[in-house]
Amino acid sequence: MFANLTDKFQRIFKKIKNKGKLNENDIKNCLHEIRIALLEADVNYKVVKEFIDSLRDKILQEKISESLSPAQQIIKIVNEEITLTLGSKQNDLNVNPSPPTIIMLAGLQGTGKTTTAVKLANYFRKKGHLPLLIATDIYRPAAIEQLQVLGEKTNLPVFSMGKKESALNIVKAALKYSSQKNNDVLIIDTAGRLHIDDKLMNELEEIDENIPLQEKLLVVDAMAGQDAVNSAKVFCDKIKISGIILTKLDGDTRGGVALSLKKVLGVPIKFIGIGEKIENFEPFRPERMASRILGMGDVLTLIEKVETAYSKDELKKLDRKMRNHNFDLNDFYLQLKKMKNIGSVDQIMDMVPGFNHLKNRIDVTKLGEREGELKKIEAIISSMTIEERENPSIINGSRKKRISRGSGTQLSDINRLLKQFYQIKEMFKKKPKLKNFSFN
């Protein structure tokens, strides 16, 4: 995500990095290039103007031109300014001290609202709550069925009453039902429209006026550009949205919506969706996102994801293998399976400082993402001898032919797997970041 903007920032900083001191013209050119980069990223023009004005004032106050390390000072100020633009600090959800906590999700069709409802329910479940999903979209064909299917797949309960009752009556009935089942978090999946209309808003206002909501969260598609910001403003004006969930952020190479929402609406982004899987959902942390936008990584989020996928013993064992350069094909396959729970290789490299620029050079951005690809890798490795798995360098042409026959794959598949294995092994040899994880 934000790949285009990250690349532009890194090019801008590279120009000033080797300069001992910056004159006024250097600073002026730097600010101009940052402004163009933000506008090309589809950031709201008023936000860009405010951003550049504030940046200029801070650079002058810090007397950057007289600094011993001007590039570092500017990067620090830009990082702080992006963090401020994104919202300064993490905004947690309001949880009712006297359950249930009731959350209404609103938004247009196509933003991923129903999927987001399931992801949010799963987020609460992992924290020890008993969530209940409430299906109130009585207009879109198969909307209720979609939520029911997703609920069944993820083992999350869904309350529905078909399409004959009003959304408000469904929510009232769900409240009574939840008290019997001890559900302490209720998530209302409301109807969306292709565009904003009175019927949609009236339904949301009716629920808002009659149900004690703790949160009114607007689901926004990060890839929709400034149209998403404009429609979000209408929702905020009508029903006083308390927070935003930004979906499809993994597909947003520009970043304009994320950088515009808080400043334009005055409403915090509370969660982000970064993939289709139920686990691809996390709280929005402005300071970490700013770091990723500038290509500085996000080690804290990576550590949190790793700790959910690995036990301490597994981490220690992997770290020892990396340090001693004993990482073999058995380990390679095991890590691919683990990485499915952490994110794609592309997402992981975004979070490791210094790895972002390697993505274009290493052909692993889709490694292990598809179930079929993982099964193919398993078949190839299973067709190898123990000696070949532990020492892949002995795999010559004749061995490849035998492995190909045994696994039912092509020689090109085996060559590609070995190439990917050596690339990842070399990557970790140069930067063994696992030593930073606090499991010792």
Q: What is the pLDDT of residue 367?
A: 47
Residue 364: pLDDT over 50: no
User: What does the DSSP 8-state code read for residue 358?
Assistant: G
Residues 6+ apart with CB under 8 A from 319: 432, 434, 435, 437, 439
pLDDT digits (tens, 9 = 90+) for 277-309: 898 899 998 988 888 788 775 455 565 566 666
Taking residues 97-109, report their average pLDDT: 94
Residue 134: pLDDT over 50: yes
Residue 67: pLDDT over 60: no
Residue 137: band (very low, low, confident or very high) from pLDDT cuts 50, 70, 90: very high
Q: What is the pLDDT of residue 329?
A: 86
- Report which of 274, 185, 200, 282 is spatially closest to residue 239, judged by C-alpha positions: 200
Taking residues 29-50, report their average pLDDT: 93
Residue 26: pLDDT over 70: yes
Residue 332: pLDDT over 60: yes
Tell me the fold of 299-436: 434 Repressor (Amino-terminal Domain) (1.10.260)
3 state SS of 247: strand
Model's pTM, two decimal places? 0.72
- The residues spanned by each domain of the chain are 3-86, 101-285, 299-436
Q: What is the pLDDT of residue 89?
A: 81
Pick one of 3.40.50.2300, 3.40.710.10, 2.30.40.10, 1.20.120.140 as the CATH number of 3-86.
Answer: 1.20.120.140
> How would you list the strands of the sheet with 185-189, edge to edge?
158-159, 131-135, 185-189, 101-106, 215-221, 243-247, 269-273, 281-283
Q: What is the pLDDT of residue 346?
A: 59
Q: What are 92's two structure tokens? A: 């947690």
> Residue 159: enclosing H or E segment and its boundaries?
strand 158-159
Taking residues 358-384, report their average pLDDT: 65
CATH 3.40.50.1820 fits 101-285, yes or no: no
Taking residues 114-132, report their average pLDDT: 95
- Report which of 178, 183, 192, 233 is spatially closest to residue 104, judged by C-alpha positions: 192
Calculated CA dihedral for residues 307, 312, 318, 324, nearest 10 degrees: 130
pLDDT digits (tens, 9 = 90+) for 392-410: 999 999 999 999 999 999 9
Residue 44: pLDDT over 80: yes
Angle at 326 between CA 402 and CA 437, to 5 degrees: 130
pLDDT digits (tens, 9 = 90+) for 204-258: 999 999 999 999 999 999 888 888 888 899 999 889 999 999 999 887 767 788 8
Measure CA 240 to chain center.
Answer: 25
Residue 261: pLDDT over 60: yes
